[in-house]
Amino acid sequence: MRKLKALLLTEGLHGMISQTEGLAKALDFDYIHEKIELNSFWKFIPTSFTPIKKFVFKNKIDGDFDIIISCGRKSIIPSLFLKKNSKKKIINIHIQNPKIALKHFDFIVCPEHDSLEGPNVLSTKGAIHYLTNKEINNSKDYLLNKLEKEKDIITLILGGPNKYYKYTDENMIKIFSTINQKIKEHNLQLVVIPSNRTPKKTIDLSKEYFTDSRIIVDTVDKSAYLSSLALAKYIVVTCDSTSMISEAALTGKPVYVAMLPTLRNDKKFKKFRNLFERLNIVKKLDNKLETWNYEKLNEADRIASKIMAGEKLSKYKLKYKTNKMYAVKEAVFPFNKFPDSDLLLGPEMKSTGEVMGFDNDFGMAVAKSQIAASNSLPINGMAFLSVKDSHKQEIVGIAQRLIRLGFTLSATQGTCEVIKQNGMKCKKINKVSSGRPHIVDILNSKKISLVINTGGGNSEHRINDARALRRGTLANKIPYCTNMSTAYSFLEAIKSLKTKKLQVKSLQDN
């Protein structure tokens, strides 16, 4: 079957090319690039006042294509002109806020921090891009032989001057000084990666400042960039680039944002950073250097799946309406009537009802759903953690968040060791098969307030241990998570219960 062919229209900037190419790759299109140049007069005219005519742009665009993916103000009129004058049906997708009527496009892909809403708008968490984990892993060896094998790596990714931040030598030296301090404290080696916008004097300044245990890449080198992401234990990105922060979030590694003084209101950048902080992706560079885990962010694939799912909503002439609320539905099972039953769901099980939590805060909506299901979440106490090997690294981030929320930690031996290795206090508790006092004894003594357990196994004693744990939580009415996504939701709910006031409204009032 022939692949669909996409025409990518941009102003030629790296960030725009990355976004359009990333979406085309995720949609599995063949594609060609076209850098748009407007005729001199039209460079200064707002798009909303520009006619959809060929004389607006210089490019002579021929060829057969099915999709137009555009990004940037200059690409809007060419996209609309080509769609309007094509002899076949063309789908056009614009990335970023076009600042004209949304009806001109089949889809608009726009980051949440732009606050754009509409029936054909697909919101992203940060910027989409063309990087893939496969590409990053394949480039790992590019810098490997140039590095000291016994030292962990911290990668510094440099942006460049823009109208929002003071990109001066003095401010860059402050960032360098902070990084240098962390290099000495943790015996790290540094890799510095410039972008298209990084001034040569900033690269030269980094060479003068960092003299030992460092690799400073002189020019834009994609292979070096990908290799540095693959090899880094910590990633630092200057605050001026949402694109590079979004790209770093694909790795699942700790991402620190190096802040610069502002030249003007950076509201959108703040909104972006606040979102990424809530997703546990970024921290400010002035924080203590630590490792944590989060779900790798791959927005290009997520948005591509939505586009491929079917017809655009605008076809149905729906009126867009939102009250910016979250509704979380929870099933209610009759486990309390069957004390010897197992909480592990099977295909034959049916719930006896459903409840819903409704709030303008996601965490509070989750909390309300649990209250309605008679499974109220704790706001403090001891959390018990026991996870399978594939979740061992991910549980570190959850453990850190639990401590910040005021919980103490306990865990089975393997999970406990991982938590302690990452600098946290944790009490070891035996499985039932390991002898008393074991976890069921502790549950019965009412010392546990929350259980996160994704363990289990195929051996008889592992199956019996897991079943005993589930029955113990049921008998003592303790909130229980059997997967990581539920655990993350519960943490958001507990945070909301501790920081916000629980309010009740009727559905009719929302």
Does the pLDDT of residue 149 top 90, yes or no?
no
In a shared domain, residues 363 and 488: yes
pLDDT classification of 77: cutoffs 50, 70, 90: very high
In a shared domain, residues 60 and 138: no
Strands 152-157 and 234-238: parallel
Type of residue numbered 119:
P
Q: Measure the CA–CA gap between 128 and 457, rounded to whole angstroms.
A: 38
In a shared domain, residues 370 and 483: yes
Domain final residue pick, 124, 150, 176 = 124
Predicted pLDDT of residue 305: 87
pLDDT tens-place string over residues 84-127: 999 888 999 999 999 999 999 999 999 988 889 998 999 999 88
pLDDT classification of 309: cutoffs 50, 70, 90: confident
Domain range holding 387?
Answer: 326-499
Does the pLDDT of residue 322 top 70, yes or no?
no
Question: Is residue 299, in this structure, part of any structural domain at all?
Answer: no
DSSP secondary structure letter of residue 344: S
Predicted pLDDT of residue 337: 59
Which position has the higher pLDDT, 357 or 338? 357
In a shared domain, residues 384 and 458: yes
Domain final residue pick, 99, 124, 149 = 124
Question: Is residue 300, in this structure, part of any structural domain at all?
Answer: no
Does the pLDDT of residue 376 top 80, yes or no?
yes
Q: Measure the CA–CA gap between 164 and 269, rounded to whole angstroms.
A: 9
Which of 38-47, 134-143, 361-370, 461-470 is predicted least confidently? 461-470
* Helix 200-209 × helix 169-186 angle, to 10°: 40
Q: Measure the CA–CA gap between 129 and 139, rounded to whole angstroms.
A: 17
Question: Is residue 505, in this structure, part of any structural domain at all?
Answer: no
Does the pLDDT of residue 11 top 90, yes or no?
yes
Q: Indicate the average pLDDT of the chain.
A: 89
pLDDT tens-place string over residues 277-301: 999 999 999 878 999 989 999 999 9
Does the pLDDT of residue 38 top 60, yes or no?
yes
Beta bridge partners of 57: 38
Question: Is residue 427, in this structure, part of any structural domain at all?
Answer: yes
Annotate 126-192 with three-state secondary structure.
Answer: CCCCCCCHHHHHHCCHHHHCCCCCCCEEEEEECCCCCCCECCCHHHHHHHHHHHHHHHHHHCEEEEE
| Sheet strand arrangement including 381-386 | 427-428, 407-411, 381-386, 448-453, 480-481
Q: Tell me which residue has tokens 């540094």.
A: 190
- Tell me how far CA of residue 480 lies from CA of 35, 63, 88, in angstroms: 54, 58, 55
Domain final residue pick, 124, 147, 173 = 124
Strands 107-111 and 121-124: parallel
In a shared domain, residues 339 and 481: yes
Predicted pLDDT of residue 272: 92
In a shared domain, residues 62 and 174: no
Give the CATH number for residue 399: 3.40.50.1380
Does the pLDDT of residue 7 top 60, yes or no?
yes
- Residues belonging to the chain: 510
Question: Is residue 431, in this structure, part of any structural domain at all?
Answer: yes
In a shared domain, residues 169 and 250: yes
Predicted pLDDT of residue 506: 72
In a shared domain, residues 369 and 481: yes
Give the CATH number for residue 96: 3.40.50
Q: Measure the CA–CA gap between 279 and 31, rounded to whole angstroms.
A: 32
Give the CATH number for residue 203: 3.40.50.2000
pLDDT classification of 211: cutoffs 50, 70, 90: confident
Predicted pLDDT of residue 433: 84
Q: Measure the CA–CA gap between 59 and 36, rounded to whole angstroms.
A: 6
In a shared domain, residues 112 and 152: no
Does the pLDDT of residue 318 top 50, yes or no?
no
Does the pLDDT of residue 12 top 50, yes or no?
yes
Which of 207-216, 407-416, 432-441, 457-466 is predicted least confidently? 457-466
Which of 306-310, 415-419, 485-489 is predicted least confidently? 306-310
Question: Is residue 302, in this structure, part of any structural domain at all?
Answer: no
The CA-based angle 429-434-440, given to 5 degrees, is 55
**In the chain, % of residues over pLDDT 90:** 67
pLDDT classification of 350: cutoffs 50, 70, 90: low
- Tell me how far CA of residue 178 lies from CA of 85, 156, 174, 233, 471, in angstroms: 55, 12, 6, 17, 50
Question: Is residue 366, in this structure, part of any structural domain at all?
Answer: yes
pLDDT tens-place string over residues 229-239: 999 999 999 99
In a shared domain, residues 211 and 280: yes
Beta bridge partners of 327: 358
Does the pLDDT of residue 315 top 60, yes or no?
no
Mean pLDDT of the region 175-193: 94
Q: How many CB atoms lie within 10 A of CB 399?
A: 26
In a shared domain, residues 93 and 33: yes
Task: Name residues whose C-beta falls within 8 Å of residue 352's C-beta, 6 or more positions apart in sequence.
Answer: 332, 333, 334
- Tell me how far CA of residue 83 lies from CA of 57, 91, 104, 130, 277, in angstroms: 15, 7, 10, 25, 39
Q: How many CB atoms lie within 10 A of CB 293?
A: 21
**In the chain, % of residues over pLDDT 70:** 92
In a shared domain, residues 110 and 161: no
Question: Is residue 38, in this structure, part of any structural domain at all?
Answer: yes
Q: How many domains does the chain have?
A: 3
Which position has the higher pLDDT, 127 or 346? 127
